[in-house]
Amino acid sequence: MIRVGWFRLLAVLVLSLGISPLSAQDDPMSDPPQSSIENPAQVELTAEDALTGIDGLVDADARVSGNTITITGTADDTSVINAAEQAVLSATGARVDNQIELSLDVQNRTIGAAHRVSERLESWIAYLPVIPVAIVILLLAALLAWFVGKLSWPYDRFTKNPFLQDIIRRLTQSAVILAGILLALEVLDAMALVGGVLGAAGVAGIAIGFAFKDLIENYIASVLLSLRQPFRPQDHVVIDGHEGLVTAMNTRSTVLTTFDGNIVRIPNATVFKTTLINYTSDTRRRFNFTAGVGYDVNLPQAIEIGIQTLLDTPGVLAAPKPVALVTTLGDSSITIQLFGWVDQSESSFGVVRSNAMQNIKAQFDKFNIDMPEPIYKIRIEGNTPVSAPDQPASPTGTESGPADTAHEDEKAKSDIRPDTTIQSMSSETARSQGDDNLLSEDAPSE
């Protein structure tokens, strides 16, 4: 029993410590040892011959140890060290242990630098015959990009929006210039520069994107708004709490002319994301107002008179029909809310609503429909005698009886034609925008 307990304890320790009962030599998953280089003497001679052709390398030597070639010597430049390693690797195909040291002698380092500069000058001199060819290719690409930018019919086939046409034109010109640069680099055998340039451009693009995030956001929003315009020029809209006529839209903002005559510029990103109300998309617009009547009034009669008065008011549409509803039973009056429709293309919305309110007041007075004022009762406790309060005057100015007949048949006679003052101001502002105005009557609308 004791021996069994010890065996169990030993098994637990082995499992907890992760000890494998197999040795490393018996492990079938271990990598087999690599074999040594065959004919080391011949490989050393091959490596030394490869090192002999490296300029700037002195005291070069190569020794084979197992499956590795160790190279030693002194170089006057770091490029010489790398060139020596690549030469031995290409000549032998074996693993290379580079032990070449960089010379600390000033004269040798100077000679190495001069040698490196002379090699670069020689390479540039070798490129001199093809440099004019590359320059001609760039000039032809620039000329072709200019010619493509002057054309108009290819872009008219894509869209009628001038803003989108300009974007397509610029993208086409950029593509032509880029193709010319790549072709010139291919002639110069310098395509390796493209990777570095693209990497630097990517990093620069990220930095610029963060720095000019708002400008880029507004530009993209202007493109989307130009594709499907939610409004037209001179539309009556409410954008982000600002009400007015749409005047213009550029690559950064949308311009409104308010009914106070002020110019408001709203960023296109805000226009794209915020709630937008367009009163011009449907020329019909409903107005409403309330009127209070007394509790002793015949409500069906008051509602009928209100509806008929709205129908008789110039500018109020017969279809949809006006409506009058009882909405509140107040402390001293009953509230009736009246609704009517106006065609804004033919009548001024504000003037028709004002005339309707005046006519309702006149008709209610004519038919003795009481429109009471708020009445308050004040109670004063104590022995001081209080005189009786004056009775409130009736809406007609008398205690009772018919209303003043001098104003019975009078109706509001304000001019209901639309006021074009703000439209004229908005048109002048739009003309001042010139070609920067992105709004187009031909663009599809939402």
Helix/strand/coil for 48: helix
What secondary structure does DSSP assign to 387-423, as a single string? PPPPPPPPTTSSSSS---GGGTT-------SPP-HHH
- Do the beta carbons of residue 356 and residue 313 sit within 8 Å? yes
**pTM exceeds 0.85 for this model:** no
CA distance 192 to 195: 6
Q: Taking the CA of residue 321 as centre, how many other CA atoms within 13 Å lie in the half-sphere pointing to its CB?
A: 6
Which residues are registered as beta bridge partners of 285?
Answer: 342
CA distance 360 to 338: 10
Per-residue pLDDT of the chain (446 residues; tens, 9 = 90+): 444 444 444 444 444 444 444 343 444 444 444 556 777 788 888 888 888 877 777 778 888 888 888 888 888 777 788 888 888 888 888 888 888 888 776 666 676 666 667 766 776 677 677 788 888 888 998 999 888 888 877 777 776 666 677 778 888 888 888 888 888 888 777 766 666 666 766 777 777 777 677 788 888 888 888 777 888 888 899 998 899 999 888 888 899 999 888 999 999 999 988 889 998 888 899 999 999 999 999 999 999 999 999 999 999 999 999 999 999 998 889 999 999 999 988 888 989 999 999 999 999 999 999 988 877 767 787 665 555 445 444 444 434 444 444 445 566 766 777 777 777 877 777 777 665 677 766 555 65
Return the exposure string of 23-53: e unless at least 16 CB atoms fall within 10 Å of the residue's CB, then b: eeeeeeeeeeeeeebeeeeebbebbbebbee
